[in-house]
């Protein structure tokens, strides 16, 4: 774990809400000079605290009208088969998030699709044609009440 001081926490919280803030805007809100903000942000990126700078795209705005939460249970929990499934999900554009989990299912997927035929084609390719998939349960998202990647960070 990386040591974060109160200024690091302020900068991270500000940037999680809006990573397009300029160094001047960050300095005003964090109480640091712009150059100090830039040095700290560069360090946080270098140390891997800031994992990515991304734009969040609205799925509906780009024709992805369905979001599904899918529980996947494997037939066999062989390390090679688990790794192969992880790789296939990581390389698949429909899969927005993939979690290897404990409990009744082995994986939880967040999937986006244009429509139900698109999702059906996805299930055919990745679930029905995979002999190591025992079962999958799909829950169609009716309303995205909260969506995000914000990680709560508090001061030391």
- Digit-coded pLDDT (tens) for 44-62: 999 999 999 998 899 999 9
Encode pLDDT of 128-144 as tens digits.
999 999 999 999 999 99
Domain limits, the chain: 6-46, 60-140
Query: What pLDDT, on a 0 to 100 scale, did the predictor assign at position 2?
Result: 85
Q: Where are the beta strands (DSSP E) in 15-142?
A: 66-74, 95-100, 107-113, 133-140
Looking at residue 139, what is its pLDDT? 98
- CATH code of the domain occupying 6-46: 1.10.10.10
* Other CB atoms within 10 Å distance of the CB of residue 18: 9
- To which residue do tokens 């409990």 refer? 103
Q: What is the mean pLDDT of the chain?
A: 95
Quick one: pLDDT at residue 33? 96
**N- to C-terminal Cα distance for the chain?**
13
Write the CB contacts of 85 (distance below 8 Å, at least 6 apart in sequence): 72, 74, 107, 130, 132
- Band of residue 109 on the pLDDT scale cut at 50, 70, 90: very high
pTM for the model: 0.86
Provide CB contacts within 8 A for 34, sequence distance 6+: 22, 23, 24, 26, 27
**Domain 60-140 in the same topology as domain 6-46:** no
- Report the pLDDT value the prediction gives residue 154, as an integer from 0 to 100: 86
60-140 has CATH 3.40.50.300 classification? no
DSSP 8-state secondary structure symbol assigned to residue 83: H
| Across 66-78, average pLDDT | 95
Under the banding of pLDDT at 50, 70 and 90, the label for residue 14 is: very high
CA distance 108 to 138: 10
Distance of alpha carbon 127 from alpha carbon 136, whole angstroms: 8
């Amino acid at each position: 774990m990386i040591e974060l001081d109160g200024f690091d926490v302020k900068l991270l919280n500000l940037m999680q809400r809006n990573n397009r803030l300029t160094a001047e805007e960050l300095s005003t809100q964090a109480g640091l000079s712009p150059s100090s903000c830039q040095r700290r942000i560069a360090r946080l990126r270098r140390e891997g605290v800031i994992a990515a700078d991304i734009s969040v795209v609205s799925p509906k705005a780009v024709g992805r009208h369905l979001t599904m939460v899918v529980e996947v249970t494997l037939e066999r929990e062989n390390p090679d088969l688990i790794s192969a499934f992880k790789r296939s999900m990581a390389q698949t554009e429909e899969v927005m998030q993939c979690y290897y989990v404990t409990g009744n299912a082995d994986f939880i997927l967040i999937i986006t699709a244009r429509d139900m035929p698109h999702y059906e084609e996805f299930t055919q390719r990745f679930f029905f044609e995979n002999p190591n998939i025992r079962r999958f349960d799909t829950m169609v998202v009716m309303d995205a009440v909260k969506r995000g990647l914000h990680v709560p960070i508090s001061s030391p």
